[in-house]
Structure 1
Amino acid sequence: MRVSVDEVIVEVTARPGASRRGVIGVTGERLVIGVNSRPEKGKANDELIEYLARETRVPRSALMIVRGETSRRKTIRIVTHEATKVASRLRQISKPK
């Protein structure tokens, strides 16, 4: 995760078709996030963005996939004026329960 003044960049590995939605774990520097949707017509990407927006408490429009649109390995940019808070929330959801 890279944090700057007005954005957070997070590396994600998506697991489409997962039985449960949410953070499955951390591999290296990547969050592994399961989504229920299949990777058809962008449904899994939409669900991933929706999940991250809800968990980080930022508008869905503030998130964008900047790399890996058709891959499981994605780079997601979150534009926010509260980058440290968003980074903190991402760290919280990545901790094992």
Structure 2
Amino acid sequence: MSDWLRLAADGSLVLSLHIQPGAKRTGFAGLHGEAMKIRLAAPPVDGKANAALCAFLAEFCGVAKSAVVLVSGETSRTKRVRVVGMSPDALARLRLQAVP
């Protein structure tokens, strides 16, 4: 696994992310140090960016929204997110986001 993508003991994946809220559109933006940068169209107000992040990752990974949990960084741009039950295909697509 890469630095930004770690396998937890319970089999879930923990993603290290750098978030840019208030962007024109939501999507992956490549690596930012040891984290994956994600641009979010949602503003950083009242948890909207966190909700948008979890919804985006759930859709991209093909899991339920409840399978994506914010582990740390609720009020920070640096976040850790746990994803449970991701398929091998979704994992492969996620890894490709780090390729420039």
Query: Where on the TM-score scale, by shorter chain, does this alignment land: which range?
Result: 0.7 to 0.9
- The CA deviation at 1:19 is 1.1
Question: Tell me, which stretches of 5 or more residues in structure 2 are unaligned?
Answer: none
- The CA deviation at 1:90 is 1.2
- The CA deviation at 1:3 is 1.6
Equivalent AA in structure 2 for residue 31 of structure 1: M
Partner of 1:63: 68
Aligned length: 95
| Larger relative strand fraction | 1
Equivalent AA in structure 2 for residue 25 of structure 1: G
1:23 to 25, 28, 35: 28
Structure 1 residue runs of 4 or more that deviate by more than 6 Å after TM superposition: none
Equivalent AA in structure 2 for residue 58 of structure 1: V
- The CA deviation at 1:62 is 0.4
Normalization by structure 2: what TM-score? 0.84
Identity of aligned residues (%): 36
Contact 2:63 2:86 in 1 (8 A): no
Distance 1:55 1:94 in 2: 15
Normalization by structure 1: what TM-score? 0.86
Distance 2:35 2:67 in 1: 20
